[in-house]
Amino acid sequence: MGEVLIAAVLTIITAATPLVYASIGEMISEKAGVLNLGVEGMMLMGAVCGFAAVNATDSSAIGIIVGMLAGSGLSLIFAVLVLGFQATQVATGLALTIFGIGISSLIGQDLVGIAYDGLPKLPIPGLSAIPVAGKLLFNHDILVYGSFVLILVVSWFLRSTRSGLILRAVGDSHDAAHAIGYHVIRIRYMAILFGGAMSGLAGAYLSLSYSPLWIENMSAGRGWIALALVVFATWRPWRVFTGAYLFGGITILQLHAQALGIGVPAQVMSMLPYVATIIVLVLISQDHNKIKLNAPACIGKPFHPTS
Amino acid sequence: MIETAVNSRNTLLRLEDMTKAFPGVVANDKVSLSIKSGEIHALLGENGAGKSTLVKMIYGVLKPDAGQLYWTEQPATVGNPAAARRLGIAMVFQHFSLFDSMSVLENVALGMEKGIDHVQLEQKIVEISNRYGLPLDPSRHVYTLSVGERQRIEIIRCLLQDPKLLIMDEPTSVLTPQEVSKLFATLHRLADEGVSILYISHKLDEIKALCESATILRGGKVVDSVSVVNETPSSLAAKMMGEELQLSEKASHTEVGDVRLELNGLTHIARDPFDISLKNICLKVYSGEIVGIAGVAGNGQDELLKAINGEDLCSPADSVKLDGKACADQGPNQRRALGMASIPEERLGHGAVPGMSLLDNSLLTAFQRLEFLEHGFIRYDRCQAFCKSVIDNFNVKSNGMGAQAASLSGGNLQKFIVGREINQKPTVLVVSQPTWGVDAGAAQTIHDGLRDLAANGAAILVISQDLDELMSISDRVAAICAGVLSESFPMEAISIEQIGLMMAGVDPSSELKDQVSGRLLNQLAGQSEESPGNPP
């Protein structure tokens, strides 16, 4: 029984990891005041390019890096359009998702059906030998460890560093930040590129570790879940992390429950993760003041530096 | 920390032929001025005279098209605000450059050139705020602070950089008279320590009280550079406006009729942490009178306007009555049908739809009262006639009825919006900041329109932060502070200091009997006498 439980928890971690990457990346972009609805598209780009790179070079490191670059490359298009040409962020983001779905299918045409062993597990010497905890926490691939590090670094960055303060300032009032002398556009470029890189990483995790293979449209809506998590988690990193694990957890549990043959229609069970995540996050975000304090006030608004 | 006692009065900043043009207008045309160390120099001019453009070029926010800036007689280029700060130029903005959801400490840290340990910074903030009498709690969030306190953040942020030149863009427009006298005391102290101050304003008595010299701008050009001691407020006004302005007599329509607008225990709990809750507001406005509501920005003015015009619903229904009819539970259209009209503070986006034509904008609020709709279709002929009458009556300069609201200048759009409401002949008009950011000529048109409307029997409520405006048009005045409305007093029975007390939430009627607050008033009056004394 213990073995089954451990296996279940391990799959929860693998289900949550891509959500952590994508939503943390999107959170940074939104904290700077940019709403990028293209997460889904950037994830798919990361997934297909990462997989193609591994297939070509047989190096998982190169696959991961290429996945990141592909995500940020797509986000660069978005950044140029919304920051350079002042295009509407919502429409541009939607277009980016549609574009990402199409181009990833095109790139991945010949990759469908190719198998890959998945990223190597990197057990941490000593620690991984601890019963139960060792298997749960210290026997993962690089991207799972990376997601733990990411959440620690990002929450420290936003809370305690000057750069984090500036990032939040730009999202809170770009006019004030500009008047004081910060480069609003430059900071937003960096935030968007970071968000893109993280989405790309999330996609690379899907094709290199979670599945691991390439299927068209394999992100299956996770980009949208990541977007929703950021909002429901009121732009706070640890809540994003919790939300990602909650969603991943219920997804896995309902799959197991379906396998056990519970007399509930499969469609209802499949709804559970969405419903549960929304309910929990709505419950923990009851305090309007807290939301107001954490929500970037300038989100989605174009910035005209001349005014 | 700050250079002490500069005896040799060197020229600190000199501008030579600064020129900046925007599409369609030359905002600054060969503007020159010079400021000495430790001098308080006024930059005087009407709205649109080019004052803000000039200081933005000094502070590096805008790039000049032509002209040269000399800093301590060396040619200098200020490419961006950071470069300005490195030279020793600091600026307090008219619309504060603050971040609402952050703490005072974080806001100050953002204005610092380099990263600094927050514990150290907190000590410095406390030190500076004690030294200059600018009390401020570093851990408070900005949205919980009054406008006066917000301004203190900006000033402290500037002072922490040891500035040699402090630019203040209309700093008193949002302060109570008492806060103004405190600010002036701080500025005098800074000037004594050798800091130069460039003080932008169009308020002549302030310039007379504070400044040593003045550069007067009109239409983007320097009209004159004067020593303030040799000038009177009216001579300054003449130079600023170019022509003696005919100040219209206050209409003497003292006969008041029935109660038209009645607020009876109006209470509205704010749902948004950035909004103010209205608490038990009682007021009657009679036919034929103009009642003014004074107050420092952010004390519930917006919320009051919304509660009266129906954007926010309140209960019980009889807490707002229009001509005796309870309507606190009804929306804007029902209230407009009862004879109410309203003019919000924000012109673009609230008073008018920026992307729509003037014609469509006039349809939006007037369709009901003036019956522009027939069987569900729009009668554009009626609408056009109405729109044309507004443009003609209020002298709105635009490219005709088809012009986009956003294409009008602020003053002309304000004239249009005020005219649109007045020409509907409402029985109750609520107007917020009727002449905010509007030049003197347009302000006069607007004030005349309001007076005529009152003379024809309407009840008018004017919410304004401009005390001079309220003094000149209101019959009665009350003040709002933290969502609580004071008692109202006839204009002739109250002094500007008493209104100031009311704006700060003190009841001025009690002090007449009460010794303690009487002394308080004396103290405040004494302060305002001693601090802004004439410069040597």
The reported pLDDT for the residue numbered B4 is 41
Output the domain CATH number for residue B449.
Answer: 3.40.50.300
Spatial neighbors of B445 by CB under 8 A, at least 6 apart, are B394, B395, B415
- Which uninterrupted H or E stretch holds B222? strand B221-227
User: What percent of chain B has pLDDT above 90?
Assistant: 34
Which of A160, A180, A304 to probe by mutation at the B interface, max B CB count within 10 Å?
A180
Sign of CA dihedral B102, B103, B108, B114: negative
Residue B514 confidence class, pLDDT cut points 50, 70, 90: very low
pLDDT greater than 50 at residue B534: no
CA atoms within 13 A on the CB side of B159: 26
**pLDDT tens, residue by residue, B77-101:** 888 888 898 899 998 876 668 898 8
B337 inside domain: yes
Q: Does A181 touch chain B (CB under 8 A)?
A: yes
Residue pair A229/A240 in contact by the 8 Å Cβ criterion: yes
Q: Does A176 touch chain B (CB under 8 A)?
A: yes
> Which of A201-205, B219-223, B314-318, B455-459 has the highest average model confidence (pLDDT)?
A201-205
B140 inside domain: no
Residue B11 phi, psi dihedral angles, 5° rounding? -75, 125
**pLDDT tens, residue by residue, A155-170:** 999 998 999 999 999 9
Q: What is the DSSP letter of A295?
A: S
Residue pair A37/A100 in contact by the 8 Å Cβ criterion: no
Spatial neighbors of A223 by CB under 8 A, at least 6 apart, are A22, A38, A39, A40, A41, A42, A43, A97, A199
CA B461/CA A177 separation, integer angstroms = 37
Angle at A247 between CA A241 and CA A251, to 5 degrees: 145
* B348: three-class secondary structure by DSSP: strand
Q: Does A179 touch chain B (CB under 8 A)?
A: yes
Q: Which two tokens stand for residue A275?
A: 């419903």
Chain B residues within 8 A of A177 when measuring between CB atoms: 97, 99, 110
How far are the Cα atoms of A7, B353, B365, B405 from residue B310, in angstroms, in the given order?
59, 18, 13, 24
Query: Looking up tokens 């952010």, which residue turns up?
Result: B298
CA B220/CA B50 separation, integer angstroms = 5
Instruction: Return the exposure string of B267-276: e unless at least 16 CB atoms fall within 10 Å of the residue's CB, then b.
Output: bbeeeebebb
Chain A residues within 8 A of B82 when measuring between CB atoms: 181
Chain B residues within 8 A of A294 when measuring between CB atoms: 101
Q: How many CB pairs under 8 A join A and B?
A: 59
Q: Torsion angle, CA of B390/B391/B392/B393, rounded to 10 degrees?
A: 40
Chain B residues within 8 A of A288 when measuring between CB atoms: 271-273
Which domain range does residue B302 map to?
Answer: 259-494
Residue A122 phi, psi dihedral angles, 5° rounding? -120, 80
Range with lowest mean pLDDT among A10-24, A217-231, B205-219, B244-258: B244-258
The reported pLDDT for the residue numbered B8 is 53
β-sheet bridge partners, residue B71 = B13, B74
Are B55 and B183 found together in one domain? Answer: yes
Nearest of B183, B131, B166 to residue B38 by alpha carbon: B166
CA A100/CA A109 separation, integer angstroms = 14
B467 inside domain: yes
The reported pLDDT for the residue numbered A203 is 97
The reported pLDDT for the residue numbered B244 is 46
Kindly state the average pLDDT of the residues B487-505. Answer: 83
Residue pair B142/B150 in contact by the 8 Å Cβ criterion: yes
Are B374 and B470 found together in one domain? Answer: yes
Q: Which two tokens stand for residue A274?
A: 């969405």
The reported pLDDT for the residue numbered B304 is 93
**pLDDT tens, residue by residue, B396-412:** 888 889 888 888 877 78
Q: Which two tokens stand for residue A266?
A: 């499969």
Task: Name the residue type at position B95.
Answer: H
Nearest CA in chain B to A289: B273
Are B489 and B359 found together in one domain? Answer: yes
Query: How many distinct structural domains can be found in chain B?
Result: 2
**pLDDT tens, residue by residue, A176-234:** 898 888 899 999 999 999 999 999 999 999 999 998 999 999 998 899 999 989 988 88
Chain A residues within 8 A of B110 when measuring between CB atoms: 165-166, 169, 177, 180, 182
**CB nearest B110 (choices: A169, A288, A289):** A169
B526 inside domain: no
Are B177 and B280 found together in one domain? Answer: no
Pairing of strands B459-463, B290-294: parallel
Are B235 and B264 found together in one domain? Answer: no
pLDDT greater than 90 at residue B149: no
pLDDT greater than 60 at residue B190: yes
CA B202/CA B69 separation, integer angstroms = 24
B536 inside domain: no
The CATH class given to the A2-294 domain equals mainly alpha
Q: What is the DSSP string of A196-264?
A: HHHHHHHHHHIIIIIS-S--TTTTTTHHHHHHHHHHHTTT-HHHHHHHHHHHHHHHHHHHHHHHHT-SS
Put simply, the answer to whether B109 touches A165 (Cβ < 8 Å) is yes
CA B254/CA A7 separation, integer angstroms = 86
- Which uninterrupted H or E stretch holds B467? helix B467-473
Nearest of B462, B457, B458 to residue B474 by alpha carbon: B462
B339 inside domain: yes
Put simply, the answer to whether A181 touches B99 (Cβ < 8 Å) is no
The reported pLDDT for the residue numbered B530 is 39
Q: Does A169 touch chain B (CB under 8 A)?
A: yes
pLDDT greater than 80 at residue A116: yes
Min Cα separation A32/chain B (Å): 13
The reported pLDDT for the residue numbered B368 is 86
Q: Which two tokens stand for residue B229?
A: 């001691």
Which residues in chain A (226-285) have CB-CB distances under 8 A to chain B?
none
CA B81/CA B434 separation, integer angstroms = 33
Put simply, the answer to whether B97 touches A162 (Cβ < 8 Å) is no
Residue A254 confidence class, pLDDT cut points 50, 70, 90: confident
User: What percent of chain A has pLDDT above 90?
Assistant: 59
Chain B residues within 8 A of A166 when measuring between CB atoms: 110
Nearest of A75, A117, A112, A73 to residue A96 by alpha carbon: A75
The reported pLDDT for the residue numbered A306 is 55
Q: Does A170 touch chain B (CB under 8 A)?
A: no
Put simply, the answer to whether A166 touches B100 (Cβ < 8 Å) is no
Question: B252 or A75, which is more confident?
Answer: A75
| pTM, full prediction | 0.72
Q: Which two tokens stand for residue B352?
A: 């008018």
Instruction: Return the exposure string of A100-133: e unless at least 16 CB atoms fall within 10 Å of the residue's CB, then b.
Output: bbebbbebbeebeeeebebbeeeeeeeebeeeee
Kindly state the average pLDDT of the residues B224-239. Answer: 83
Which of B93, B101, B103, B107 to probe by mutation at the A interface, max A CB count within 10 Å?
B101
The reported pLDDT for the residue numbered A305 is 67
Range with lowest mean pLDDT among A156-165, B203-212, B287-296: B203-212
B517 inside domain: no
Chain A residues within 8 A of B150 when measuring between CB atoms: none
**pLDDT tens, residue by residue, B340-380:** 999 998 888 889 998 899 999 999 999 888 889 888 899 99
CA B164/CA B90 separation, integer angstroms = 8
Residue B243 confidence class, pLDDT cut points 50, 70, 90: low
Put simply, the answer to whether A180 touches B97 (Cβ < 8 Å) is yes
The reported pLDDT for the residue numbered B512 is 43
Min Cα separation A256/chain B (Å): 43
Nearest CA in chain A to B158: A180
Question: B174 or B65, which is more confident?
Answer: B65
Min Cα separation A168/chain B (Å): 9
Min Cα separation B363/chain A (Å): 28
The reported pLDDT for the residue numbered B95 is 67
Min Cα separation A163/chain B (Å): 9
Spatial neighbors of B452 by CB under 8 A, at least 6 apart, are B422
* Residue B79: Cβ-neighbour burial (10 angstroms; 0-12, 13-18, 19+): exposed
Residue pair A176/B99 in contact by the 8 Å Cβ criterion: yes
CA B114/CA B286 separation, integer angstroms = 58
Nearest CA in chain A to B116: A162
Q: What is the mean pLDDT of chain B?
A: 83
* B270: three-class secondary structure by DSSP: coil
Angle at B217 between CA B211 and CA B218, to 5 degrees: 140
Put simply, the answer to whether A176 touches B97 (Cβ < 8 Å) is yes
CA B54/CA B494 separation, integer angstroms = 39
Nearest CA in chain B to A167: B110
Chain A residues within 8 A of B106 when measuring between CB atoms: 165, 169
CA A129/CA B437 separation, integer angstroms = 72
Are B439 and B470 found together in one domain? Answer: yes
Put simply, the answer to whether B96 touches A288 (Cβ < 8 Å) is no
Are B476 and B405 found together in one domain? Answer: yes
**pLDDT tens, residue by residue, A47-61:** 999 999 999 999 999
**pLDDT tens, residue by residue, A206-220:** 999 998 999 999 998
B446 inside domain: yes
Nearest of B264, B292, B304, B258 to residue B280 by alpha carbon: B264
Chain B residues within 8 A of A169 when measuring between CB atoms: 99, 102, 106, 110
Chain A residues within 8 A of B140 when measuring between CB atoms: none
Written in H, E and C, the secondary structure of B394-444 is CCCCCCCCCCEHHHCCHHHHHHHHHHHHHCCCCCEEEEECCCCCCCHHHHH
Which of A158, A159, A172, A185 to probe by mutation at the B interface, max B CB count within 10 Å?
A172
Which of B59, B97, B150 to probe by mutation at the A interface, max A CB count within 10 Å?
B97
Interface list for chain B against chain A, based on CB atoms closer than 8 Å: 60-61, 80-82, 85, 93, 96-102, 106, 109-111, 115, 141, 271-274
Q: Does A294 touch chain B (CB under 8 A)?
A: yes
Spatial neighbors of B424 by CB under 8 A, at least 6 apart, are B341, B365, B366, B369, B370
